[in-house]
């Protein structure tokens, strides 16, 4: 069974949703993007335009590419606007009940042959698929942030996901010019299971006084050849997101090695969530970020 994906709906116009819209539109795919308000949709569209302009300025795409891509993206004020979509990708907040509510409300308004995907980074695909009327047409398509820069996409099948859904998703990712890798439906899948475990260990290393923020990040940049230190990376991801993923690993796998570091919990409780709140393991309120420990 062949499924051609020509029009994609996206639920969520935040960093991930707008990033997915960005790469889809550049690949020649029509995009409809939805969020809780027109203001959020407009903010997402502005972010896409800004990121594409940066690509133009460094010669990654042409201005003509940019303008054509932007014209392919249209707001979807309600889920009814997804009725003609071949694929709808849920990219809402990382909360299982939020996602399940969205999926339950979405399904009755789609074509019977439409595929549904979730961009979750850690929630069970099988569990989310059970909230739909088409678990065989449901799949995890996990893009990495920033979507327009990161090459990899994880494809995660639920227990009921059919081969034709997986093959359609794989072809979709190929069309975007990205690399797909299959992952089994276990907490955090592949990339985040490994990466967040490293970040959590780096936070324990800080918590136990083995090294300062600067020492740990410098050690990993120059000692392990990482482009970004683990604490700087945690700030970029968002400490609340890091904590949520570690809690999912700890609860889902019942292994003490995934216990979130108490210092990570403390930072999140303080509202120091990283770059977006201007404070995390670094203070971003000055011209140059400064370590907070």
Task: Write out pLDDT tens, residues 17-51.
Answer: 999 999 999 999 999 999 999 999 999 999 999 99
pLDDT of residue 118: 98
Claim: this prediction has a pTM higher than 0.85: yes
Rounded-to-integer distance, Cα 26 and Cα 70, Å = 8
- On whether the CB atoms of residues 156 and 173 are closer than 8 A, the answer is no
Question: Looking at 94-98, 124-128, 265-269, which range is the least confident one?
Answer: 94-98
Which residues make beta-bridge pairs with 152?
Answer: 179
Task: Write out pLDDT tens, residues 154-194.
Answer: 999 999 999 999 999 999 999 999 999 999 999 999 999 99
Q: Are residues 176 and 132 in the same domain?
A: yes
Residue 256 has pLDDT above 90, yes or no: yes
**Per-residue b or e along 282-291, where b marks 16 or more CB atoms closer than 10 Å to that residue's CB:** bebeeeebeb
Q: Are residues 219 and 179 in the same domain?
A: no
Q: Are residues 151 and 197 in the same domain?
A: no
* Residues of the domain holding 90: 7-183
Rounded-to-integer distance, Cα 21 and Cα 13, Å = 8
Q: C-alpha distances in angstroms, 175 versus 10, 28, 91, 178, 180?
A: 17, 9, 20, 8, 11
Rounded-to-integer distance, Cα 103 and Cα 109, Å = 10
Write down which residue in 183, 210, 234 finishes a domain.
183
Task: Write out pLDDT tens, residues 216-239.
Answer: 999 999 999 999 999 999 999 999
Q: Are residues 20 and 102 in the same domain?
A: yes
Q: Which residues contact 130 (CB under 8 A, 6 or more apart)?
A: none
- On whether the CB atoms of residues 34 and 13 are closer than 8 A, the answer is yes
* Domain of residue 230, CATH code: 1.10.1040.10
pLDDT of residue 3: 77
Residue 153 main-chain phi, psi, to 5 deg: -135, 130
**Residue 122 pLDDT class (50, 70, 90 cuts):** confident
Q: Are residues 52 and 156 in the same domain?
A: yes
Write down which residue in 183, 208, 243 finishes a domain.
183
Domain membership of residue 1 (yes or no) is: no
**Residue 4 pLDDT class (50, 70, 90 cuts):** confident
* Domain of residue 27, CATH code: 3.40.50.720
pLDDT of residue 2: 60
Task: Give the strands of the sheet with 73-75, arranged side by side.
Answer: 73-75, 30-34, 7-11, 87-90, 115-118, 138-143, 152-157, 179-183
Averaged pLDDT for residues 104-113: 95
Write down which residue in 141, 158, 183 finishes a domain.
183
Q: Are residues 108 and 179 in the same domain?
A: yes
Rounded-to-integer distance, Cα 139 and Cα 155, Å = 7
Neighbours of 60 (CB within 10 A): 14
Short-list 106, 93, 89, 108, CA closest to 32: 89
3-class DSSP state of 30: strand
Residue 75 main-chain phi, psi, to 5 deg: -65, 145
- On whether the CB atoms of residues 98 and 55 are closer than 8 A, the answer is no
Task: Write out pLDDT tens, residues 242-254.
Answer: 999 999 999 999 9
Q: Are residues 172 and 264 in the same domain?
A: no
**Residue 94 pLDDT class (50, 70, 90 cuts):** confident
Residue 1 has pLDDT above 80, yes or no: no
Q: How many domains does the chain have?
A: 2
């Amino acid at each position: 069974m062949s499924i051609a994906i020509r029009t994609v709906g996206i639920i969520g116009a935040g960093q991930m949703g707008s990033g997915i819209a960005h790469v889809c539109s550049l690949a020649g795919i029509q995009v409809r993007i939805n969020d809780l308000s027109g203001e959020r949709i407009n903010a997402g569209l502005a972010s896409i335009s800004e990121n594409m302009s940066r690509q133009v300025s460094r010669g990654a795409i042409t201005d003509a590419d940019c303008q054509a891509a932007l014209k392919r993206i249209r707001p979807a004020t309600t889920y009814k606007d997804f009725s003609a979509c071949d694929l709808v990708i849920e990219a809402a907040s990382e909360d299982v009940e939020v996602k399940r509510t969205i999926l339950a409300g979405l399904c009755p308004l789609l074509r019977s042959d439409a595929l549904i995907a979730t961009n979750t980074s850690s929630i069970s695909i099988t569990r989310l698929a059970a909230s739909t009327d088409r678990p065989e047409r449901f799949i995890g398509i996990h893009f990495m942030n920033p979507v327009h820069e990161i090459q990899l996409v994880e494809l995660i099948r639920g227990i009921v996901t059919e081969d034709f859904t997986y093959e359609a998703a794989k072809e979709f990712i190929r069309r975007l010019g990205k690399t797909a890798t299959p992952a089994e439906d276990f907490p955090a899948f592949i990339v985040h299971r490994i990466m967040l475990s490293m970040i959590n260990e780096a936070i324990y290393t800080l918590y136990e006084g083995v090294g300062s923020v600067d020492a740990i990040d410098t050690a990993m940049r120059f000692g392990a050849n990482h482009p970004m230190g683990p604490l700087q990376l945690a700030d970029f991801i968002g400490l609340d997101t890091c904590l949520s993923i570690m809690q999912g690993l700890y609860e889902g796998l019942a292994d003490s090695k995934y216990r979130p570091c108490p210092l990570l919990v403390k930072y999140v409780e303080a509202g120091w969530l990283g770059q977006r709140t201007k404070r995390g393991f670094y203070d971003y309120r000055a011209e140059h970020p400064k370590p907070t420990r």
